Amino acid sequence: MEPLGLAVLAAATPPDVEVELIDDRLGPIDYAAPGDAVAINVETYTARRAYAIAASFRRRGVPVVLGGYHPTLAPDEATRHGDAIVVGSADGVWPTVVEDLRRHRLQPRYLGGPGPATGVPPRRAIFPAKGYLPITLIETGRGCRFGCDFCSVSQFFERTAFSRPAADVLAEIESAGRRSVFFVDDNIVAQPQRARELFDALHPAGIRWFSQASINIADDPALLRAAARSGCQGLLIGFESLSASTLASMGKGWALSARDYAEAVQRIRDAGIPIYATFVFGYDTDDPDAFERTVEFAIRQKFLMAAFNHLVPFPGTPLYARLAGERRLRQEAWWLAPGFRFGDVAFHPRTMTADELAERCYRARLAFYSAGSVLSRAWDFRCNVRNLRSAAMYAWLNVFSGREMRQRQGLPIGEGFVDDVQGGPT
Ligand code: B12
Ligand code: SF4
């Protein structure tokens, strides 16, 4: 997908500065290309690779600025790998960083805070014409007011939710010029009244959209109807667990205490909205049977897609602090550990070994994306397969997700790190 954060950064860059986007996922980086500074987006899973790229540019005398989730949540570490870091949202503070670069007085750390979007439309012209999915990423808001203990978003935005005026969102959809939109909001119904206004405003635009929402959307039938009418093709909802005690221990007790999951799913499906459900395993109250029970539930509820993730102690989260305090992290900075692979578990669970947890999650994914499950979930003419278009989308998403899930498992994170640090990439 197109990296929206970098287009936001490009839009905040003074117009007399030339900007070029290089996406490490799309092709090799030309480290010798002329340039006065490099800005790199860093997430926890990409930190190792990002630091290697930063080191290569810095060795050539090009100053590097790091920003995004990881530098915000692990600022002391990130500071060692860049000439400057930006903590938090960069929209407002970026012009100052650029000015300081010009004047050769770059500060080591800039504070953007958990701020809202400035309203300046992202500069999508920086995206190359080929290589990305033909879907436009747009923010209608940022942040979430809940405080789940494992969640980076909750820490990044300090449990605050910001929203943009519906008119701005509509203007951006219009100028981006695509009918398929992914609203990247962490919780599009974080402010239900505002969400209702947005959905009503979206209705005439005739778009098809996908986003993320919290389960309490199910409590508001009018909001559900408005979402469906405005073109909602699916919502990613973090169910996390079927166990009330596990949910309580992650700070998400509210999700199940106020409602029954099956009933809530029913209401969302009655509105014709397919669900991408996500679950997480590895809490101290999770028994080995939890996996099978959850997969059965996910297939029975005919979810469009589902993720069965093991718990990840992302830096800067309460979960990380707790596991570190209990000396249960396998490595403190697991994201930099040589040999760490996608799918590896970074801590010692209580009720099974780390490898067992990884294996059980993988098996849950295999079961959910098995041919039998895909066929049984397709037998759903209200949501997953309600017309030819949704049937094609259902088939594509399930085949693609199943394949991608297999391909990612065991992939080393930060490939190329050792070469880069020792000799420089070729
Ligand atoms: C869309 C999205 C995706 C898309 C991919 C998007 C893409 N373009 O490729 C998909 C669905 C594929 C995806 C996948 C994953 N994602 Co994701 N994703 C998001 C989401 C929801 C929105 C990103 C976005 O566009 N935000 C809007 C833009 C404007 O914000 P931004 O990118 O943060 O940029 C702002 C600041 O961070 C900062 N900034 C960013 N970069 C830079 C660089 C510099 C130099 C500076 C100065 C500032 C700066 O300034 C920007 C403007 O204020 C975020 C949550 C979120 N709210 O951001 C999660 C999120 C980034 N994803 C996350 C994760 C964990 C993943 C996965 C690993 C999940 C998984 N288990 O598979 C994968 C793999 C990602 C990978 N890199 O390998 C985590 C990262 C946590 C962390 N600590 O790193 C997040 C925060 C979600 C969460 N709930 O925790 N993701
Ligand atoms: S509801 Fe979702 S976005 Fe909000 S804090 Fe919990 S996991 Fe994070």
Which tens digit of pLDDT belongs to each residue from 244-254? 999 999 999 88
What pTM does this model have? 0.95
* Ligand 2 pocket by Cβ (under 6 Å): 144, 146-148, 151, 153-154, 186-187, 214, 238
What is the whole-number distance in angstroms between the Cα of residue 418 and the centre of ligand 2? 35
Which tens digit of pLDDT belongs to each residue from 100-109? 999 999 999 9
Report the nearest-CA residue for atom 6 of ligand 2.
148
- For 72, the token pair is 């915000």
Probe target for ligand 1 pocket from 152, 210, 236, 406, with the most ligand atoms within 8 Å of CB:
152
Res. 353: pLDDT tops 60:
yes
Q: Which atom of ligand 2 is nearest to the CA of 187?
A: 3
Whether 98 lines ligand 1, by a CB cut-off of 6 Å, is no
Which tens digit of pLDDT belongs to each residue from 378-416? 999 999 999 999 999 999 999 999 999 999 999 988 865
Structural domains of the chain ordered from first start: 4-113 (3.40.50.280), 124-408 (3.80.30.20)
pLDDT band at 113 (very low <50, low <70, confident <90, very high): confident
Specify the pLDDT at position 416. Answer: 54
Which tens digit of pLDDT belongs to each residue from 416-425? 544 444 334 4
Q: Which atom of ligand 1 is nearest to the CA of 3?
A: 8
Res. 203: pLDDT tops 50:
yes
Q: Nearest ligand to the C-alpha of residue 23?
A: 1
Identify whether the C-beta of residue 424 lies closer than 8 Å to the C-beta of residue 56: yes
Which tens digit of pLDDT belongs to each residue from 261-298? 999 999 999 999 999 999 999 999 998 899 999 999 99
What is the whole-number distance in angstroms between the Cα of residue 4 and the centre of ligand 1? 9
Which tens digit of pLDDT belongs to each residue from 40-85? 999 999 999 999 999 999 999 999 999 999 999 999 999 999 999 9
Whether 186 lines ligand 1, by a CB cut-off of 6 Å, is yes
Average pLDDT in the 338-350 region? 95
Specify the pLDDT at position 421. Answer: 42
Probe target for ligand 2 pocket from 246, 252, 276, with the most ligand atoms within 8 Å of CB:
252
